[in-house]
Amino acid sequence: MPQTLNVPFIADLDFLNTDAIFNRLESSGVRHSIGELNWKEQYPYHPLTTFTIAHSAKYIYVNFFVRCNYLRAVNYENNSPVYEDSCVMFYVQPFDSQDYSRFEFNCIGTVKAVRQFGSGDSEIFTDEEIASISLLPSCGRRPFREIEGLFTWDILVAVPLKLIGAEYNGGPLKLKGNFFKCASGTSQPHFLSWSPVRSKEPDFLRPESFGDIILE
């Protein structure tokens, strides 16, 4: 069954410094697990992954947290294949639209952002549009090859609602979407989701798997 996520409204998030945003998300946001191991026979590795989420009038704020054994951040240019690296993703769709947006972030904050159309076509977001996404990765910004150990990392992102074609007017705003964790190019490739994905092979491009996301 697809999930339902109620996202609390925090009016002053846009006016806080970074430390205060972390504190407000911790105290007033909601935390969920990205824990669906959809292809556990082929890809059994299950790094602990959570996200804490809230929204303002103009942005959706998501803080992803990961604990893992391998860390990789080779890609450093916009719209490069960040899914090969230690990566988290947020796919979101206006409720009355067939189109949706894909936001993918590796652990050093490299962004791949794509508009996926109901027709099956797609287009990448421009550098200017990507620059409107605020983000803070705990691993810094310098790329590195895979390292092995015990790591924890997080990345805070603020995605403008206008970037996904949505507008918040003070009442519940219903969206659809999913959250993912993957790292296809590491020594322990994995493909986790928040809302279950039903396919024989890893495939996140399945809007039928999206859960309801309600901005309160």
Dump pLDDT digits (tens) for 161-199.
999 999 999 989 999 999 999 999 999 999 999 999 999
Model confidence band, residue 3 (pLDDT cutoffs 50, 70, 90): confident
Residue 120 has pLDDT above 90, yes or no: no
pLDDT tens for residues 53-85?
A: 999 999 999 999 999 999 999 999 999 999 999
Q: Give residue-wise pLDDT tens across range 34-57.
A: 999 999 999 999 999 999 999 999
For the whole model, what pTM was predicted?
0.96
Asked if residue 164 lies in contact with residue 92, where contact means CB atoms within 8 angstroms, the answer is: yes
Can you tell me the mean pLDDT for 112-122? 94
Read off the pLDDT of each residue in 130-143 and give the average, rounded to a whole number.
98
- With a CB cutoff of 8 Å and minimum separation 6, the contacts of 1 are 196
Res 2 pLDDT > 90 = no
Residue 24 to residue 49: CA distance in whole angstroms: 20
DSSP string for residues in the chain = ---EEEE-B-TTGGGS-HHHHHHHHHHHSEEEE--EETTTTT-----EEEEEEEE-SSEEEEEEEEEEEEEEE---STTS-GGGSSEEEEEEEETT-S-EEEEEEETT--EEEEEE-TTS-EEEPPHHHHHTSEEEETT-S--EEEEEEEEEEEEEEEEEGGGGT----SS-EEEEEEEEEE-TTSSS--EEESS----SS-----GGGPEEEEE-
Mean pLDDT estimate for the chain: 97
Q: Is the pLDDT reported for residue 1 higher than 80?
A: no
Alpha carbon of residue 141 to chain centroid: 18
Query: Among residues of the chain, what percentage have pLDDT more than 90?
Result: 96
* Alpha-carbon span 148 to 209, nearest angstrom: 32
